[in-house]
A and B are shown apart, each in its own frame.
Chain A
Amino acid sequence: MPRIYIHPLPVRIWHWVNAAGFVVMILTAIQIRYVGLIDVISFRTAVLVHNYTGLVLIANFFVWLGFYLFSDRIRAYLPEINPRKHFIGSFRQMYFYGYGIFKGEPNPFHLSIYRKFNPLQSMTYQVVLMLLVPIQFYTGLLMWDAKHFASQIDFFGGIRVIDTVHVLIFCALVFYLLVHVYLGTLGHTRLAHFKAMFSGYEDVEEEEAPAVTAAATGPHPTSERPRNPVTAA
């Protein structure tokens, strides 16, 4: 099965540091918020681990941001500005996941180096990585040293407001993570996408017949040459 080098090393490092970090953050967050109900580690240890892991994740975020800002692969994150195209693509992707996938229909989305997210992924990652995660980092940073950032906390309405936003996004990210992991199992094998995230190479099948128009799904892998194509059979 042909393979395409879709996940460069910095992205893979960022991804797995992020994944491990977010698991730690979620677990320590649960320990912090529900101390007394859950007492696996001490509250203080949980807070310290949460704080330092958060700082690592913030630094890691800039690894991701820096890589994409200085790479032409940032095109993968550029939003589809045509709402009609985006809606049609999203609808077809939802249909595929909800029914077509069980019928054995081909995925309407075609993977390429510059187009590695289907419309649903694209929308989700833009919201998660460019809105929720930065806000989560920012609110976490404010609470990490609330006295130092007191003026900013007051500007946004006080520590309780900041924490509530932090918790709301926490809930959203917990939901996202569970769904993200499950969708990761929907490759041609259960572990295909997970392996790809380690190796960098995604398996792609030879295309038999395009299921949807290129306009709705993005350019065909072979229709757009990467500046530094790295593919392997």
Chain B
Amino acid sequence: MASVTFERATRIYPGAARPAVDAIDLHVADGELMVLLGPAGCGKSTLLRMLAGLEELDGGRIFIGELDVTDVAAADRDIAMAFESYALYPHMTVAENMGFALKVLGIPKAERVARVEEAARLLDLEAVLSKKPMAISGSQRQRVAMGRAIARRPQVFLMDEPLANLDDELRVQTRGQIEQLQRKVGVTTVYVTSSATEAFEIGDRIAILNQGVLQQVGTPDELRSSPANEFVADYLGLAS
């Protein structure tokens, strides 16, 4: 686990009138869940992709812990895009579903077993490790998908609108699991959403962006009590 620091991070798309991400300074503490919030096109997903190594920087730097990862390849940044795929493999056990990616990454067996065991303990899946996905409940299957990400032991979890694909019932359920998981595992998490309600419910702190510029960073209470400008107040529905 590690902190994340953006130092004047900038992304300018060729031909664009203004930067998609404009000299953003932001520090995410070790173990913190930071929400990037803002309207479509505000730069929040671009900032997340820059951290993931999917977008190059046109200026500034990004650190994970003490390490400057600005020029480090995505695969070597030790991050996990959580909930990328919910696919579970029907013929493999829960344990295999959680651990197969470790095998692909060349991690030795003893280490794989230890990591799967730990993820299962955190997610309360120990009793079903030998079962196939069809033999467990829907909520357990979702946790298996999370377990796959946890078993990789990333330094940082990235979540890009993880609830957007889900219906209302599942959204509430998954949001609760993300919160619980983040508290239990304590992995630094950067979470993108355009929903202020979701941000308030899930974030330790929230960074609000507009037109590529960071408007304000604070806890939900700080933002509610003292929005930094009209945009923030409007976006959070605080304007009178």
| A, B in one complex | no
